[in-house]
Amino acid sequence: MSTLESTQEAIRLIQASGRISAFSGAGISTEAGIPDFRSPSGMWQDPDLVEQLSLSAFRDSPEQFYRASIGLFRTIARAEPTPAHRLLARLEEAGKLDAVVTQNIDGLHQKAGSRKVFEVHGTYRTGHCPQCGGAFDMDPFYRAIESGRLKVPLCSRCRVPVKPDIVLFEELLPEDAWKGAVGAMEQCDLLLVLGSSLVVYPAAELPSIALASGARMVLVNLDPTVYDRSAVVVRDRLGNFAEAALAALR
């Protein structure tokens, strides 16, 4: 099946479905300028950053954690939603899409207008105090760190370092987000997988739940995945697919 034919078949499935869920990975945000982990230009190429993105590294040296990660956080803060993000928001607005499940921490789905988003790897936008549980908007902290006015954000009550609400290495996934994601997989009649290599577990198990529940699957990704035989596969850039789908849905 050609790229044009698979795109047309994917759009036909979207038009025929009324209970769509979406599962997005790093590929949906690389087109917004946010680096992924595994590509030649991804974050795995920065050993200092990778070393610091663990719970033990944060606990051992919060200052080093923020020094290593502030560039990533500020890149995310400046990013804008892509056509693929806008497509999902449009489908939700039209009453066709029930939920977005994302592996990304960037909040671009919400920025595009999506309202029901399960962030299984957390979010960079908020943080909490590990001692008292107090919640914080992280953007003022990031701005102060970037400008050199602050080294480590501290809880105003406990004076201990505030941790961003991202899932670091050595941490479990957030329970509420995971339960919501599983529910979205169980209830959909079509799953749109956008920009995920489907190799990071346990999140990569989610499409199997949708398939076991009888859903069809559309998979838009430049590289092959283990689920290709179970899906309508569109081997194209997400921006191209999303623009075609948005045009067809007008």
Strands, E assignment, the chain: 20-24, 97-102, 117-119, 122-128, 135-137, 163-166, 190-194, 216-220, 232-234
Distance CA 103, CA 126 (A): 16
pLDDT confidence of residue 166: 96
The pTM score is: 0.93
Among 85, 109, 121, 128, the one annotated catalytic: 121
Clarify whether 121 is annotated catalytic.
yes
pLDDT confidence of residue 204: 92
pLDDT confidence of residue 174: 95
Residuewise pLDDT in 10s, the chain (250 residues):
899 999 999 999 999 999 999 999 999 999 999 987 554 454 445 566 667 788 999 999 999 999 988 988 999 999 999 999 999 999 999 999 999 999 999 999 999 999 999 999 999 999 999 999 999 999 999 999 999 999 999 999 999 999 999 999 889 999 999 999 999 999 999 999 999 999 989 999 999 999 999 999 999 999 999 999 999 999 999 999 999 999 998 8
- Both tokens of 151, joined, read 């080294």
pLDDT confidence of residue 118: 98
pLDDT confidence of residue 39: 47
What letter does residue 113 receive in the DSSP assignment?
T
pLDDT confidence of residue 233: 98
